[in-house]
């Protein structure tokens, strides 16, 4: 009896490369499907909320335009007007500082404070132009005038409001606050401000000057360790300053 082999389809083997390809194809399809769904959701969100989105964009445009208008039409002209008035007050301040007669100095300082010749004084500038650079600078001059006039509390008040990126004026403001606290018999506060003044700017004038004042005040209040520290800084870092001339004597006193 004859035998035969049953014909059929041989199962095709799938290689690892084919599986990897199919897997990648599937992943790519999922990514595109996800992106399509995300885009659809975004379109629906934009369609639903377009009124609020456009309102928000309009508000931003209005704010930017308003700021630019304010800057050009209010802020800059205000700064210029403040500077023009400040220049006049500064002239009287400079004149007063250089006066040898106390009466003449006071007269010049009064004009610097209250204005003259149709120009504002520092008090009016401080009030009318608050927020401008000139307004901030008026705090410095007011503090210095009140210190010279012996009104130490007002001097501290105005000088404390002054803030500037200046290597001389800012340390001088802090240092004068320290001087005012000495006059008010507040040595701890004075010492803090002398050190603050010394650290406000690293230069050969104000830095050794206020470290020296801090050292002397610390020495007077029996804080020898602090005094020696400040005097030593002058000796090591500012040997050419006038404060360094006899600094070894002060270092010895602090030991």
Tokens representing 152?
A: 């130490």
The residue behind tokens 């035969």 is: 4
In a domain, 88, yes or no: yes
Q: Which residues of 189-214 are buried (b: 16+ CB within 10 A; e: fewer)?
A: bbbbbbbbbbebbeeebbbbbbbbbb
Last residue of a domain, one of 108, 135, 163: 163
pLDDT for 53: 55
3-state secondary structure of 5: coil
* Arithmetic mean of pLDDT over the chain: 81
Looking at the structure of the chain, the number of domains it has is 2
Residue numbers of the domain that contains 201: 165-255
| Position with higher pLDDT, 155 vs 51 | 155
pLDDT for 5: 47
Which stretch, 6-10, 99-103, 186-190, has highest mean pLDDT?
186-190
Last residue of a domain, one of 106, 139, 163: 163
Tokens representing 122?
A: 């520092």
pLDDT for 88: 86
Residues 159 and 174 in one domain: no
Mean pLDDT of 78-95: 82
In a domain, 42, yes or no: no
Within 8 A by CB and 6+ apart from 140, the residues are 158, 159, 162, 164, 169, 173
Q: What confidence tens digit (pLDDT) does each residue in 1-41 have?
A: 444 444 444 445 545 554 454 455 555 555 555 555 655 66
Reply yes or no on whether the pLDDT at 58 is more than 60. Answer: no
Q: What confidence tens digit (pLDDT) does each residue in 133-155 have?
A: 888 999 999 999 999 999 999 99
We report the CATH number of the domain holding residue 240 as 1.25.40.10
């Amino acid at each position: 009896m004859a035998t035969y082999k049953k014909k059929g389809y041989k199962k095709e083997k799938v290689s690892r490369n084919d599986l990897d390809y199919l897997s990648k194809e599937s992943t790519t399809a999922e990514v595109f499907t996800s992106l399509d769904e995300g885009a659809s959701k975004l379109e629906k969100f934009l369609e639903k909320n377009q009124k609020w989105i456009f309102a928000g964009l309009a508000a931003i445009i209005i704010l930017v335009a308003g700021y630019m208008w304010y800057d050009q039409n209010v802020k800059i002209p205000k700064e210029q007007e403040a500077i023009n008035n400040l220049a006049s007050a500064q002239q009287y301040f400079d004149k007063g500082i250089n006066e040898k007669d106390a009466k003449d100095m006071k007269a010049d300082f009064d004009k610097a404070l209250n204005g003259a010749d149709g120009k504002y004084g520092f008090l009016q500038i401080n009030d009318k132009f608050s927020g401008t650079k000139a307004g901030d600078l008026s705090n410095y001059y007011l503090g210095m005038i009140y210190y010279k006039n012996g009104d130490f509390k007002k001097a501290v008040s105005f000088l404390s409001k002054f803030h500037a990126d200046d290597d001389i004026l800012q340390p001088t403001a802090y240092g004068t606050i320290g001087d005012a606290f000495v006059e008010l018999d507040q040595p701890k506060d004075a010492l803090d401000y002398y050190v603050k003044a010394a650290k406000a700017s690293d230069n050969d004038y104000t830095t050794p000057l206020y470290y020296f004042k801090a050292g002397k005040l610390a020495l007077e209040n029996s804080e020898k360790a602090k005094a020696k520290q400040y005097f030593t800084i002058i000796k090591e870092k500012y040997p050419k300053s006038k404060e360094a001339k006899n600094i070894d004597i002060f270092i010895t006193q602090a030991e």
